[in-house]
């Protein structure tokens, strides 16, 4: 089953998938154009660029269909929680208020929804190694991985008070339990050498 961190990375990048597919389709069209190939570029490098782009586009299409299917399995409250947090950028306490759920119910439903996504995405062929093989060099996934990493670190450091503090303190315990206490940090997208250059390319 996908880790909790990987599940949050793919949900964070999900709203960008259609734009990413358009970007790679346009890039492939440009690479195949007469003007691009008659500009004195090295043929082997052009071919390698074409293959990498085509493989990534194919991966994005399959991945998008897989995530669409996984999200389609969610119930109404599960969709409200996942959509609010990952697609609309709402704070968790705002989602609790909007849905009228108790904090304990929110935690349970959110955890169940994430588990459904983690199990189903891997069942349809996208385990962590496959996701990295397809998308390790894609800047959108790099940025999503960094955002999720910061989210986990913030939860680990958080020591607030009051209702908001209580929610975030519970988040920290929940995420730690999902990931495994003391779990070795996984090297995700763009953490490899050259990640910064890839984001700026």
Q: What is the pLDDT of residue 195?
A: 41
pTM of the model: 0.75
Q: What is the number of domains present in the chain?
A: 1
Domain carrying residue 111: 4-200
Mean pLDDT, range 18-44, rounded to an integer = 91
Q: Is the pLDDT of residue 181 over 80?
A: no
Q: Is 183 helix (H, G, I), strand (E, B) or coil?
A: coil
Mean pLDDT of 22-34: 94
Quick check: 72 and 66 in contact, CB under 8 A?
no
Q: What is the pLDDT of residue 175?
A: 55
Q: CB under 8 Å to 190, separation ≥6 — which residues?
A: 136, 137, 139, 141, 142, 143, 145, 146, 196, 198, 199
């Amino acid at each position: 089953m996908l880790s909790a961190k990987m599940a949050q990375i793919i949900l964070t990048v999900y709203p960008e998938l259609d734009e990413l597919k358009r970007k790679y389709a346009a890039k492939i069209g440009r690479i195949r154009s007469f003007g691009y190939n008659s500009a004195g570029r090295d043929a082997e490098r052009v071919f390698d660029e074409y293959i990498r782009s085509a493989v990534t586009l194919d991966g994005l299409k399959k991945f998008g269909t897989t995530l669409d299917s996984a999200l389609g399995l969610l119930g109404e409250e599960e969709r409200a929680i996942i959509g609010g947090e990952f697609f609309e950028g709402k704070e968790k306490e705002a989602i609790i208020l909007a849905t009228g759920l108790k904090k304990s119910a929110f935690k349970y439903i959110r955890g169940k929804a994430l588990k459904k996504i983690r199990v189903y995405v891997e069942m349809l062929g996208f385990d962590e190694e496959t996701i990295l093989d397809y998308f390790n060099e894609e800047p959108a996934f790099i940025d999503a991985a960094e955002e999720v990493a910061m989210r986990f670190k913030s939860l680990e450091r958080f020591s607030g008070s009051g209702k908001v503090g209580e929610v975030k303190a519970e988040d920290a315990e929940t995420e730690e339990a999902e990931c495994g206490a003391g779990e070795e940090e996984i090297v995700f997208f763009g953490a490899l050498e050259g990640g910064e250059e890839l984001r700026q390319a």
